[in-house]
Structure 1
Amino acid sequence: MTTEFDLGRLLSERGAERYELHTRYLNHQLPRMLHTIGFDKVYERAEGAYFWDADGDDYLDMLAGFGVMGLGRHHPVVRKALHDVLDARLADLTRFDCQPLPGLLAEKLLAHSPHLDRVFFGNSGTEAVETALKFARFVTGKPRILYCDHAFHGLTTGSLSVNGESGFRDGFAPLLPDTAVPLGDLDALARELKKGDVAGLIVEPIQGKGVHEAPPGCLRAAQELLHRHKALLIADEVQTGLGRTGDFYAYQHEDGVEPDLVCVAKALSGGYVPVGATLGKDWIFKKVYSSMDRVLVHSASFGSNAQAMAAGLAVLSVMENEQVVANARATGELLKSRLAALIDKYELLADVRGRGLMIGIEFGRPNSLKLRGRWSMLQAARKGLFAQMVVVPLLQRHRILTQVSGDHLEVIKLIPPLIIGEREVDRFVDAFTDVMDDAHSGGGLMWDFGKTLIKQAVANR
């Protein structure tokens, strides 16, 4: 007898096995890592900027699924759009017709970057980057892509070739021909361009790893250099785009910057259906798709699917109607200023930087002898342990989810949903102040946990 599929029943019967199932069938190191740092929580539901556990306790999300949940979780407008598109029973993905939703979403996206003309839709940020790399190499006829030290552009083979961290690249060579240049180093860029084989430079206007912004005037100067050498400027806005930094795109904070290709993804999905997009100039697309024989020279099986397009249209509508970009700018300025005011109070707090609701909190070597010894002990075991020591009590004691901004970095990155307001700012700053007070007291549970992290770091060497 055939039993009808019942998702609710399946989750009710087997949901408690979540960590065991992951250990057995997926990445077995993830549950191990979560258990080690005390992040092995069981979240039952989520809405907006909050999760709830089985006991009904709320958790403030300052991570937004690595930036995917720009509007928070389960926004009613996006939910309705997805229900509507499923109920419409569209003739989706026939591959030999032209559905209206991709064109409508492209039109809405391009309205925010009027110097660009066309869009390719894929399924993720890394696909958006792969598209940009392929297009740049094809239209310039040159093989080499430049990227910046410490950049992150994805983990597929092409995007990995422009990933600035050896930890991700090790063991996966050979990759595409590439060269890293320091972020903002125009002399290094010029030296590489003179070699005549550079197709383009891909850059995050604000790097996700460490939250480092391109120096003022750098992107425009880089653009002029690139164009002088018939190379392209590619802006990776996968994390920084769609309002994250207080403007629709982060490159728009600098006048005169008009990238040839722009990559977006993450928040465009509304947190539901994966979607990526590569926006570009008309001449680039016309050169890639130069004839009817080349109509499928670059495509994606699930690209432009109706659910993804509906989610993207709903997201852009919500952003406009609810003034999401303006809120990110105002709330981000409030959060950043409140945190920056603590620098003089805490010697372990070195810097607060970023734009909009993309903020980096950096820790550094203290001056007092008592704290300096503890800091040196952590650094000797593994750089980045102090930042992890801050992240853990934020979750354990204050039910706030954050992340360390990269391996071996003493930086916490805040990328909350763009809908947060003063209430969430107050909650985070109060919790962060409490954790910093504990760290500077020189004792307590925080430093005890530091010993656990040291043992773990030494064991993994």
Structure 2
Amino acid sequence: MSFSIAELFAQHSTDKFDLHEQHLNNQMVRMLKTIGYDRHYKRAVGQYLYDQEGTEYLDLLSGFGVFAIGRNHPTVISALTETLTLELPNLVQMDVSILSGLLAKEILKTTPDNLDKMFFCNSGTESVEAAIKFARYTTKREKIVFCEHGYHGLTMGALSLNGEEIFREGFGPLLPACSAVPFNDLEALEKALSNKDVAAFVVEPIQGKGVNLPDDNYLPEVERLCKKYGTLFVADEVQTGLGRTGAFWAIDHWNVKPDMICMAKALSGGFVPVGAVAMTHKIMDSVFNRMDRAIVHGSTFSKNNMAMAAGLATLRVMEDEKLVENSMKVGTDIIDSLNAMTGKYEFLKEARGKGMMIAIEFQSPKSLKLKAAWAMLEAANKGLFCQMVTIPLFKEHHILTQVAGHGMNVVKLLPPLNLTQKDRDTIVTSFDKAIADTHQIPGSIWDLGKNLAGHALKGKKGN
């Protein structure tokens, strides 16, 4: 009997919500149906998704940055197909692989010159777990410092460095000796490091939740302070890396040299999970310091041939298509064009970001009628206003976006890096229309707002 994924997909193309309600996270299905995101997607190419009716959607989330080169890129598909048909030895125990060595070599060409060793794993959170372990072993210190509102993953070690309480709540006790300092606060950081007992400071160069940018002197001073107090500087570039911010690594904007870089997401090409940590020779040699410690930390599937081939092909696509440069050019244009609207829309505070890591933040207006409407939404659930932008963007303009984080009035864009000028025009025009509609009171968009507020208040009563 033949087995066909295509046949399974065709047979169950409209069953996915029922399947998830029965066997997976039914709250996810409930949420999608409530806000009208319950679409049946049939195909995906580049920056676009297509539903069963053939409607095209511009995906400005790219799987939270996974599809930096776009979905189903033919170069990566070709590399994976070739890898499958070559009958290569894969995950041979008591051996090392060619493709992992080649991928390590290619990645290290892009990193600061103090980093010359790689460790591979399966995801961003695994890369953070590895960085915690390596930092503790190398420094013989226990403490880890991270930033408030930071995000580093959801496994127990990475979760211990998560600055958002909603992710931590109910999962404790977490790792001991982990403490937070405010992002962009050098005085607080120095105070935390000054006892010379901190193994590592783990920080996103640009915070993903809210797209919070550092002051220009922040990361250079972080590097200096870490060296001064013997703390390892770990840059979490799981989201910001591989061209997302218009530089290959976000740290490149500030010319700093961390001791470790955590990476994942875009390195996969959108096909096979792959994460990694780039590090100094000293850290690698400290952890793997004897032959009997050669396997003291690892991950079963981490260096599998498919993941390594996907990584190699992704790097080639980024270079050939000049996606880093395109990220900076088109992303900057989008940010500037959205900021040009602040003068005519009271709700619009600013657009910010670097490259194609973009936040659009909204604020309480000055006009009494608008201010009262804003207050109604905020009383129901902080950050609810953004749904009045993202839902119309999706339903009317077929653009997929999301709120940047819990309790934030910020819409976040993490589009594929291959956006065209046409895509840029669509984004700017659609945001202009969606934001303009929020200033019409009464209006259909505020009927949606009242409906959302009602759902939010019911949810609070249910808890």
Which region of structure 1 is more displaced relative to structure 2, 193-202 or 135-144?
A: 193-202
1:305 aligns with 2:304: yes
Local SS of the residue matching 2:42: strand
Q: What's the offset of the Cα at 1:197?
A: 2.1
Give per-residue Cα distances to partners, 1:310-365, cap 9 Å, x unaligned. 00000001111111100001001111111110011100000111000011000000
1:449 aligns with 2:458: no
Structure 1 partner of 2:204: 204
TM-score (norm 1): 0.98
> Counterparts of 1:337-356 in structure 2 under 5 Å?
337-356=336-355
Distance in structure 1 (CA, Å) of the matches to 2:23 and 2:57: 28
Q: What's the offset of the Cα at 1:201?
A: 0.6
The residue identity in structure 1 corresponding to 2:195 is K
> Counterparts of 1:307-346 in structure 2 under 5 Å?
307-346=306-345
**Equivalent pair of 2:13/2:40 in contact (CA under 8 Å):** no
Structure 2 partner of 1:195: 195
Give per-residue Cα distances to partners, 1:4-54, cap 9 Å, x unaligned. 212111111122110000011111100000001011111110100001111
Local SS of the residue matching 2:412: strand
Distance in structure 2 (CA, Å) of the matches to 1:437 and 1:196: 53
Distance in structure 2 (CA, Å) of the matches to 1:13 and 1:77: 29
Structure 2 partner of 1:166: 165
The residue identity in structure 2 corresponding to 1:58 is E
> Counterparts of 1:50-449 in structure 2 under 5 Å?
50-113=48-111, 114-176=113-175, 177-255=177-255, 257-449=256-448
Q: What's the offset of the Cα at 1:194?
A: 2.0
Distance in structure 2 (CA, Å) of the matches to 1:16 and 1:375: 37
1:44 aligns with 2:34: no
The residue identity in structure 2 corresponding to 1:37 is I
The residue identity in structure 2 corresponding to 1:213 is L
Distance in structure 1 (CA, Å) of the matches to 2:240 and 2:402: 17
Distance in structure 2 (CA, Å) of the matches to 1:156 and 1:163: 10
Distance in structure 2 (CA, Å) of the matches to 1:221 and 1:187: 10
Give per-residue Cα distances to partners, 1:257-316, cap 9 Å, x unaligned. 100000010000000000001000001000100011101100000011000000000000
Distance in structure 2 (CA, Å) of the matches to 1:195 and 1:155: 29
The residue identity in structure 2 corresponding to 1:163 is N
Distance in structure 2 (CA, Å) of the matches to 1:451 and 1:233: 46
Local SS of the residue matching 2:450: helix
Distance in structure 2 (CA, Å) of the matches to 1:83 and 1:308: 12
Give per-residue Cα distances to partners, 1:439-460, cap 9 Å, x unaligned. 1112322111111111111111
**Equivalent pair of 2:151/2:161 in contact (CA under 8 Å):** yes
Can you give the 5+ residue segments of structure 1 that lack an aligned partner in the other structure?
A: none
TM-score (norm 2): 0.98
**Equivalent pair of 2:40/2:51 in contact (CA under 8 Å):** yes
Distance in structure 2 (CA, Å) of the matches to 1:411 and 1:302: 37
Structure 1 partner of 2:21: 23
Local SS of the residue matching 1:430: helix
Distance in structure 1 (CA, Å) of the matches to 2:251 and 2:38: 37
Q: What's the offset of the Cα at 1:403?
A: 0.7
The residue identity in structure 1 corresponding to 2:193 is L
Distance in structure 1 (CA, Å) of the matches to 2:9 and 2:254: 48
The residue identity in structure 2 corresponding to 1:443 is P
Distance in structure 2 (CA, Å) of the matches to 1:40 and 1:384: 22
Of residues 4, 7, 16, the one that matches 1:6 is 4
The residue identity in structure 2 corresponding to 1:198 is V
Local SS of the residue matching 1:460: helix
Question: Identity of counterpart residues, as a percentage?
Answer: 48
**CA RMSD, 1 decimal:** 0.8
Distance in structure 2 (CA, Å) of the matches to 1:452 and 1:272: 38
Q: What's the offset of the Cα at 1:95?
A: 2.0
Local SS of the residue matching 1:202: strand
Q: Which runs of 4+ in 1 moved over 4 A?
A: none
The residue identity in structure 1 corresponding to 2:86 is A
Distance in structure 1 (CA, Å) of the matches to 2:190 and 2:62: 37
Local SS of the residue matching 2:242: coil
Distance in structure 2 (CA, Å) of the matches to 1:219 and 1:290: 30
Distance in structure 2 (CA, Å) of the matches to 1:358 and 1:433: 19
